[in-house]
Structure 1
Amino acid sequence: MRQGRPTRRLGGMLAAALLTLSSGVVAQPGADPDQEERFDCRSLAERGPPDTALGWLERSLWANHCYEFQARAVRIGGDGVRSLALSHDVVEGVEREVARFLDGPAVVFERRGRIGRLSWAEGDAPAPASPAGIAEHLEGLYRLQLSGEERLANRNTIRLDIEPLDGMRYGHRFWLDTATGLPLKQILLDEQGRVVETFQITELRQPQLHQGEIGVDRRRARPQDPWHPAWLPAGFIPQPVETRSARHDDDIGHRVYSDGLATLSLFVEPVEGPDQLIPGMHRLGVSHAAVRHRELGGRTRQVVVMGELPPGVLLRVADSVEWQVGDEGGMP
């Protein structure tokens, strides 16, 4: 990879992708609080312990939204070991999540938003809130299995193994707090079953169920892009998230696709100026980035596909991007 500005640009794209998604929470300004759909977190207290692996997964997804807490954690990946301070709270129906790295470069991620939806609105078709939609969508893509109980961070957990049914995505191991459903440990496994990343909470400080409601993002119509990927792995669907970012120029198109667990970001921009990336495969932490320079819309454009997915999958998506016939203008 070239050094200097191209490297920073790739890092900026990764940062934009990370800020776009957070367990189904996305920053969606401008929603009318009197009109939005809401989820009452207090309903979780009325539910008994799940009796299936899928039930535990859905419980964990809702818990990520509804529990307020502070925690310390450690992340182990290809770029070494880093410790973090985490916090999550809800104010007037809007979530706020902060992750602060405690060693190495000083990095802070802060995200605010409502509960996201699984897909863009398509006519009268349902666009379910992401936790319920994800649990239903995973059928046929992964095999879920409960694998016993362990004690972590001085709390009882149940282990949930999630194995992909093809070689197009990575596997997961979750250790879920039996009292709250919050994930206390997560392991990401590549297509050969090797550990790619471990994330573990070492101290969870008095998690409290939010005694109120959280807003669900409004239904959003799909934007009309002049380009689209002609191929995606089975189960990957466009995500209804706001992708405009001050971290990159307006002529960079950015869309997000997910199967509910795995996510990829697709960027398309004109090739111009000195800070372009070398075509091929790049690695940044536990993520990969496939870079192609393609003739699209009457000019050369840089296509970047990023995600925690097998490199061959990212390259195939990048090679499949097509420009709509008749759309020869610039980026919207």
Structure 2
Amino acid sequence: MSGGRFTKRLALLSGAALLAHLSPALAESTTGQAYAERFDCRQLTDWEQPESPLEWFERSLWASHCLEFQARAVRIGIDGVRTLALSRDIEDGVEREVARFLDGPPVFFERHGRIGRMNWSSADEGAPASPVGIARHIDQYYRLSMGRDERIANRSAVRLDIEPLDGMRFGQRLWLDAQTSLPLKRELIDDRGRVVETFQLTELQPPQLHEGDVVLDAYREPPQQSWFPAWLPEGFVDQPIVSDAERQEQTLGHRIYSDGLSTLSLFVEPIEEGRERLIPGLHRLGISLAVVRHVVAEERPLQVVVMGELPPRVLVQVAENLVWREAPE
């Protein structure tokens, strides 16, 4: 993959993060899954109203999978203010999300997916569906508390304050629709306490509960790779995702790690003579940061990129601690 194509891919990943505001626990749709476990969205109507902050958070994840809607939104970040049109629908159990910028250069993102798993696993071992797994997981690394109720997009909203228990990740404030638990607004707060991004729905057509099932992702066993990060922030788990980049470019290694709320992407690709390459160092892509290193491993030059919405020192430490040997079983 040339430097130009790789840079474009990083930019697309940064922009596609907008869709994570709709469904943070969405796994990319794949073909060939003969049998699929499913979640019946209609059972949400029978669940009791959440009481604790963690219950509200988990309910918001299920709502993000089971509600269909159209909305207008605004994104305010370091790179400026953008307005968007958003939509979610579900067909044959597969979720479809679309984001389209309404100002500036015309940009359109679309993804199809299903409810993901929290980690790699065989069917025998099992792995919880992401909403359950994420809620259990983040409770170990963040402090959740309730803020004062407010009004967002002309709807009553419940505020969640999510504060990291260490300096290795960013915090968030979430405003959830009091009726449906759908996220209406998110503020991303860096390790210095600054709001670095605000994403807010400004107009929302009444969301509709999907009258049917949503597909859960299949159990996936981890791929075999000759490299792995020897250091990650505590709680970051290898995600069971095979990216489009890997499908399209066999020489590109790509792994995603998450603590359930914060995420980092790690890319490793050969440096080939005559092809463009990224400049080593720290790069900013919107609110995301990317650390680029050129290393020699397995007797060939390689380009390492670590990208995410995390403190720069965390990304640097991950990039400097890759190991080229067989991962321990």
Q: CA deviation at 1:105?
A: 1.2
Q: Separation in 2 of the partners of 1:16 and 1:196?
A: 18
Q: Separation in 2 of the partners of 1:239 and 1:18?
A: 20
Q: CA deviation at 1:274?
A: 3.7
Structure-1 residue corresponding to 2:184: 184
Give the residue type in structure 1 aligned to 2:321: S
2:140 pairs with 1:140: yes
CA deviation profile, 1:249-290 (whole Å, cap 9, x unmatched): 321111111000001100001122341111111111000001
Q: CA deviation at 1:147?
A: 0.8
Conserved 8 A contact 1:73-1:84 = yes
Report how many aligned residue pairs link the two structures.
321
Structure-2 residue corresponding to 1:24: 25
Query: What are the within-5 Å matches in structure 2 for residues 243-322 of structure 1?
Result: 243-245=243-245, 249-272=249-272, 273-322=274-323
Partner SS, residue 211 of structure 1: coil
Q: CA deviation at 1:186?
A: 0.3
Q: Separation in 2 of the partners of 1:23 and 1:140?
A: 18
Conserved 8 A contact 1:175-1:185 = yes
Structure-2 residue corresponding to 1:72: 72
Structure-2 residue corresponding to 1:9: 6
Identity %: 56
Q: Separation in 2 of the partners of 1:217 and 1:247?
A: 18
Q: Separation in 2 of the partners of 1:116 and 1:17?
A: 20
Q: CA deviation at 1:314?
A: 0.4
Q: CA deviation at 1:245?
A: 2.6
Conserved 8 A contact 1:244-1:254 = no
Give the residue type in structure 1 aligned to 2:79: D
Give the residue type in structure 2 aligned to 1:237: V
Q: Separation in 2 of the partners of 1:288 and 1:188?
A: 14
Q: Separation in 1 of the partners of 2:246 and 2:294?
A: 24
Q: Which moved more, 1:261-270 or 1:21-30?
A: 21-30
Conserved 8 A contact 2:161-2:173 = yes
Conserved 8 A contact 1:11-1:284 = no
Structure-1 residue corresponding to 2:36: 36
Structure-2 residue corresponding to 1:93: 93
Q: Separation in 1 of the partners of 2:57 and 2:32?
A: 28
CA deviation profile, 1:205-238 (whole Å, cap 9, x unmatched): 0100001110101101100011100100000001
Structure-2 residue corresponding to 1:199: 199
CA deviation profile, 1:104-146 (whole Å, cap 9, x unmatched): 1111110111111100015733311101100001122000001
Give the residue type in structure 1 aligned to 2:205: R
Q: Separation in 1 of the partners of 2:84 and 2:204?
A: 12
Query: What are the within-5 Å matches in structure 2 for residues 37-186 of structure 1?
Result: 37-122=37-122, 124-186=124-186
Q: Which runs of 5+ in 1 are unaligned?
A: 327-332
Q: CA deviation at 1:16?
A: 4.3
Conserved 8 A contact 1:31-1:218 = no
Conserved 8 A contact 1:157-1:178 = yes
CA deviation profile, 1:40-97 (whole Å, cap 9, x unmatched): 1011111121000000000000000000000000000111000000000111111000
Q: Separation in 2 of the partners of 1:325 and 1:260?
A: 26
Q: Separation in 2 of the partners of 1:133 and 1:149?
A: 27
TM-score, normalised to structure 1, is: 0.92
Q: CA deviation at 1:302?
A: 0.6
Q: Separation in 2 of the partners of 1:180 and 1:265?
A: 31
Conserved 8 A contact 1:13-1:248 = no
Give the residue type in structure 1 aligned to 2:203: E
Q: Separation in 2 of the partners of 1:241 and 1:28?
A: 10
Structure-2 residue corresponding to 1:330: none
TM-score, normalised to structure 2, is: 0.93
Partner SS, residue 30 of structure 2: coil
